[in-house]
Amino acid sequence: MKFGVVTFPGSNCDADMIYVLETIMGQEVEPLWHKDHDLKGCDLIVLPGGFSYGDYLRSGAIAKLSPIMEEVIKHANNGGYVMGICNGFQILTESGLLDGALLHNNTQKFISKNVHLKVGSSNTALTKGLDSNKAHKIPIAHGEGRFYAGEDTMKKILDNDQVLFYYADEEGAVTDAANPNGSLLNIAGICNEKRNVFGMMPHPERAADSELNNIDGKAFFESLLKFC
């Protein structure tokens, strides 16, 4: 599989993602620039974390207007795989590829720490290979990670089994205490109805190398490779 990792002005997790995909997972990776008009034959496009365009207007609101996003949207609409992590998730909601929005954390503070995730839907390429009984320890680092959607949209997301991950405690219990940012229903990630676009706030690429003493995130990439 050929991965394309997009770099926007202000991206800061693009190199991390390229390292994991290329060095840890042994995959072909094509760096893509925000001004590009060509996805260069990539099968799965990754929108990495960071602060695209400084988040000066609203997280992801300017990045969605980048030339590369025209191609990413076409790719997704044609059934191609797209994955957005943290700021990438925000860009996906701003561009309409995913429902809902990411609002300021309810603490009004930037949060950087490890959290635990419980798998929601096991019916996606990103989650099929994950142990649904395990609480996966994955880092977060965001100021606008509170997932929100209106009542009708939320009903559609739940009815269509589109929730990828819930914030949970170490035992996998989805509780208010385990919710780091006030996300609706503890939601940490969702997919689209066609199940080819994935968005999540936590960073699996920061938990995929044994040198970091945590490889829970590696299973996310293994699942993608097996089921995409």
Among residues 34, 75, 116, 203, which one is catalytic? Answer: 203
Query: Terminus-to-terminus CA distance in the chain, angstroms?
Result: 9
Among residues 71, 94, 144, 205, which one is catalytic? Answer: 205
* Residue 142 annotated in active site: no
Mean pLDDT, all residues of the chain? 97
* Residue 86 annotated in active site: yes
Among residues 13, 42, 86, 191, which one is catalytic? Answer: 86
Place 156 in a pLDDT band, splitting at 50, 70 and 90: very high
Rounded to an integer, the average pLDDT of 65-85 is 98
> What is the tally of structural domains in the chain?
1
The helix or strand, by DSSP H or E, that contains position 77, with its residue range, turns out to be helix 67-77
* Residue 203 annotated in active site: yes
Pairwise CA distance, residues 3 & 7, whole Å: 13
Local structure of 181: helix, strand or coil? coil
Predicted pLDDT of residue 161: 98
Predicted pLDDT of residue 56: 84
pLDDT in tens, 166-202: 999 999 999 999 999 999 999 999 999 999 999 999 9
Q: What is the dihedral of CA 179, 183, 185, 190, to 10 degrees?
A: -110
Rounded to an integer, the average pLDDT of 108-127 is 98
CATH number of the CATH domain containing 222: 3.40.50.880
Range of the domain at 143: 2-227
The model carries a pTM of: 0.97
**192-216 b/e with 16+ CB inside 10 Å = b?**
beebbbbbbbbbbbbbbbeeeebeb
Place 111 in a pLDDT band, splitting at 50, 70 and 90: very high
